Chains A and B, each alone.
Chain A
Amino acid sequence: MAVETLWSNKVRSGLTMLGVIIGISSVIAITSIGQGVQKATELKIEALGTNILQVLAASARTGGISQGAGSASTLTWEDAQAIAKQVPAATAVAAFLYSPNIQVVRGNVNISTTGIGTDLNFPRVSNIQPQQGVFFSQQDLDIAKPVAVLGSKVRDDLFAASENAIGADIRIRGKRYKVIGVMESKGSVGPQDMDDRVYLSLTNMSAEIVGNNALTGVAINGFLLESSDADQLESAQFQVTNVLRLRHHIRPPQEDDFRVTNQVDIIKTFTSIMGSLTLMVGAIAGISLVVGGIGIANIMLVSVMERTREIGLRKAVGATSGAILNQFLMEAIVISSIGGAIGIGLGIALAFTAATLFKFPFVVPLWSVVVGFGLSLIVGVLAGGIPARNAAKLDPILALHGE
């Protein structure tokens, strides 16, 4: 019967449903998109490996005076090599130098990318392999040979799809380099685009591009350390810190001139920020659902006033107050559950579109569907309840005469 009366006034029912549809679909879409992005980040963590430490040079402080940028780096290749030997938890160490803005030129194409100078362990530790050609060899490293390995984006920027990049010449800082490899595509991890890079040998980068020297040996910006597994990471962190303090003559009250970070931690922080963001936006969507509920209550109240004659007549032909209460409650529940179902469908469709468009995994958390539908029912019952009580209380004669 509720369905019949609702169907007999499609416009009013439709408008009432709209609030619920908007509320539920935004709750579902937002939580689904949030979860999708989080899932994507988790996949990236797994791709990166959960057993990697990053050690970066920090500016050295001597007697409380910061030596500032451009001064000698505090970490050297020798430090990295010592760590590889002296830290039992380390299974591989890749030293690196980087320059965020280097010009790479081929013919009249000129792009700016990130330059990474590193050693042979980098592909293993960063879990990235050449897709074409090779990474540089020990010999290339030893003689600082001018060879370059391109990130997939850099390759696409410089070469047409049909061209073969391997063996081609490019210019970096005016010097000629031969392309010997192209890395596989990895996408972005956090803020870094793993594909927008050019890899050189550490020795060549140090001699030709960056050119600043440590007090002793080859300066580096830092190194990546691989441990046998995630459980070993904490002991590796402890050991690295101690070895470096020993080598740099730093005693604990003194500040370290290096920084040990754990990639997993960084990404976990990112994920948890994403999580709370999702929760917050989801909550806002939830509030909009409540507002939708107030809308239903309002429309139902107006409809009770509009329908006083109907209520009076129904009572005259034998409806009890309970029957009227039921009718209005049922109408509210039917409206909000149909609205809820449409909203869930729409929300899932929105989330699917976003996931396909922005290429992250499509996940619809079951709880959001359950919570969304539950909320719409609660909203329906509460928002329908008050007008229904008013309707049931109407005196039949007054209602019959009411305009």
Chain B
Amino acid sequence: MATIILLKDITKTYHLEAIDVPVLKRVNLSIEQGEYVAIMGASGSGKSTLMNIIGCLDRPTSGEYFLAGINLTTLDDDELADIRNQYIGFVFQQFNLLPRLTSLANVMLPMIYADVDRSQRIEQATEALAQVGLSDRLQNSPNQLSGGQQQRVAIARALVNHPALVLADEPTGALDSQTSQEIMDLLTELNQQGTTIVVVTHDVDVAARTKRVIRMLDGVIVENTQASIDFRLKN
């Protein structure tokens, strides 16, 4: 199986006034295509920082990052934008839908930057919304939808360009447990179709549904287990 994410000695240091704040300290990580990974850890341990680097929203202070074999350290900002567009789908805790656009228009957004023509954008976005069970909410704006429905629109937006990698930073953090289950069902289904998924979560139930858990503490990976897979294989 091909390695989709390969991090080598990644560090991230913020400079606050005169002092350096190391947030990631020589992180090494490899994730294969089709994996379903949870990242856990205390608040402030660097999970979001790591996710932002994996998602090409941020650059590491040092170290090398290969995404699908491409050395991202050498790419410029516009090339990184294309990588985000073609390889990565994001799901955020706060959904981050554009409030004045309909579900359909929100889902169509990534395809605008992929130069997909309008009729195909509508077709693909409609399909993606059907996949998350929102065929009857195409023309609703976010404030006409429940939190769970908004997160499903966000998932549809993340998968509409058929990315190899979906990154979800606390996707159920703003939802009740019932709704969280539904969202996790969607992500699991997406993973079964072959998409690599990385989820940051504080919720052990969420982590239990993945195949591998990475635990972080103060900017380092302290545990990297296939426990849940083992657990599943035993059953």
Residues of A within 8 A of B (CB): 1, 4-5, 8-9, 309-310, 312-323, 396-397, 400
| Contact of A397 with B57 in the complex, beta carbons under 8 Å | yes
Which of A9, A317, A320, A400 is most buried by chain B, counting CB atoms within 10 A of its CB? A317
Task: For A314, give its contact among B57, B78, B109 (CB under 8 Å).
Answer: B109
Main secondary structure of the interface of A (DSSP, over half): helix
CA distance A316 to B96 in the complex (A): 10
| Contact of A317 with B90 in the complex, beta carbons under 8 Å | yes
| Contact of A4 with B98 in the complex, beta carbons under 8 Å | no
| Contact of B105 with A4 in the complex, beta carbons under 8 Å | yes
CB distance from A248 to the nearest CB of B (A): 86
Which of B82, B98, B105 is most buried by chain A, counting CB atoms within 10 A of its CB? B98
Residues of B contacting A8 with CB < 8 Å? 100-101
Chain B residues within 8 Å of chain A by Cβ, number: 25
Residues of B within 8 A of A (CB): 52, 55, 57-58, 77-78, 81-82, 84-86, 90, 92, 96, 98, 100-101, 105, 109-110, 112-114, 157, 161
| Contact of A320 with B100 in the complex, beta carbons under 8 Å | no
Q: In chain B, what residue has the closest Cβ to A314?
A: B109
Task: For A317, give its contact among B58, B100, B101, B109 (CB under 8 Å).
Answer: B109
CB distance from A294 to the nearest CB of B (A): 26
Q: In chain A, what residue has the closest Cβ to B95?
A: A313
CB distance from B56 to the nearest CB of A (A): 9
Residues of B contacting A4 with CB < 8 Å? 101, 105
| Contact of B86 with A318 in the complex, beta carbons under 8 Å | yes
| Contact of B92 with A310 in the complex, beta carbons under 8 Å | no
| Contact of A313 with B52 in the complex, beta carbons under 8 Å | no
CB distance from B49 to the nearest CB of A (A): 9
CA distance A322 to B57 in the complex (A): 16
Residues of A contacting B92 with CB < 8 Å? 400
Residues of B contacting A319 with CB < 8 Å? 81, 112-113
Residues of B contacting A318 with CB < 8 Å? 81-82, 84-86, 110, 113-114, 161
Supply 17 further A-B pairs (C-beta < 8 A) apart from A309-B96, A314-B109, A323-B113: A4-B105, A9-B100, A313-B96, A315-B84, A316-B57, A317-B85, A317-B90, A317-B113, A318-B84, A318-B114, A318-B161, A319-B113, A320-B113, A321-B77, A323-B81, A397-B58, A400-B96
Residues of A contacting B109 with CB < 8 Å? 313-314, 317
Task: For B81, give its contact among A9, A309, A315, A397 (CB under 8 Å).
Answer: A315
Residues of A contacting B90 with CB < 8 Å? 316-317
CA distance A9 to B58 in the complex (A): 31
CA distance A146 to B79 in the complex (A): 100
Residues of A contacting B52 with CB < 8 Å? 397
Residues of B contacting A400 with CB < 8 Å? 57, 92, 96
Task: For B77, give its contact among A5, A309, A316, A320 (CB under 8 Å).
Answer: A320
CA distance A5 to B110 in the complex (A): 15
Residues of A contacting B112 with CB < 8 Å? 1, 319
CB distance from B47 to the nearest CB of A (A): 14
Residues of B contacting A5 with CB < 8 Å? 100
21 contacts between A and B (CB under 8 A): A9-B100, A309-B96, A312-B96, A313-B96, A313-B98, A313-B109, A314-B113, A315-B57, A316-B55, A316-B57, A316-B84, A316-B96, A317-B84, A317-B110, A317-B157, A318-B82, A318-B86, A320-B81, A321-B78, A322-B78, A323-B113
Q: In chain A, what residue has the closest Cβ to B85?
A: A318
Residues of B contacting A322 with CB < 8 Å? 78
Which of B55, B90, B112 is most buried by chain A, counting CB atoms within 10 A of its CB? B112
CA distance A1 to B86 in the complex (A): 20
Residues of A contacting B113 with CB < 8 Å? 314, 317-320, 323
Which of A1, A8, A313 is most buried by chain B, counting CB atoms within 10 A of its CB? A313
CA distance A309 to B85 in the complex (A): 17
Residues of B contacting A321 with CB < 8 Å? 77-78, 81
Which of B81, B114, B161 is most buried by chain A, counting CB atoms within 10 A of its CB? B81
| Contact of B98 with A310 in the complex, beta carbons under 8 Å | yes
CA distance A5 to B161 in the complex (A): 22
CA distance A5 to B96 in the complex (A): 16
CA distance A400 to B109 in the complex (A): 16
CB distance from B50 to the nearest CB of A (A): 12
Task: For B78, give its contact among A310, A312, A320 (CB under 8 Å).
Answer: A320
Q: In chain B, what residue has the closest Cβ to A4?
A: B105
Q: In chain A, what residue has the closest Cβ to B157?
A: A317
CA distance A397 to B86 in the complex (A): 18
CA distance A314 to B112 in the complex (A): 10
Residues of B contacting A323 with CB < 8 Å? 81, 113
CB distance from A305 to the nearest CB of B (A): 16
CA distance A68 to B41 in the complex (A): 108
Pairs A-B, 9 closest by C-beta atoms: A318-B85, A8-B100, A318-B113, A317-B110, A320-B81, A320-B78, A396-B57, A397-B57, A313-B96
CA distance A299 to B82 in the complex (A): 30
CB distance from A56 to the nearest CB of B (A): 73
CB distance from B160 to the nearest CB of A (A): 9
CB distance from A221 to the nearest CB of B (A): 76
Which of B57, B77, B161 is most buried by chain A, counting CB atoms within 10 A of its CB? B57
CB distance from A329 to the nearest CB of B (A): 16
CA distance A5 to B52 in the complex (A): 27
CB distance from A396 to the nearest CB of B (A): 5
Residues of B contacting A312 with CB < 8 Å? 96
CB distance from A259 to the nearest CB of B (A): 73
CA distance A80 to B228 in the complex (A): 123
CB distance from A390 to the nearest CB of B (A): 16
CA distance A313 to B57 in the complex (A): 10
CA distance A145 to B92 in the complex (A): 105
Which of B58, B109, B110, B114 is most buried by chain A, counting CB atoms within 10 A of its CB? B109
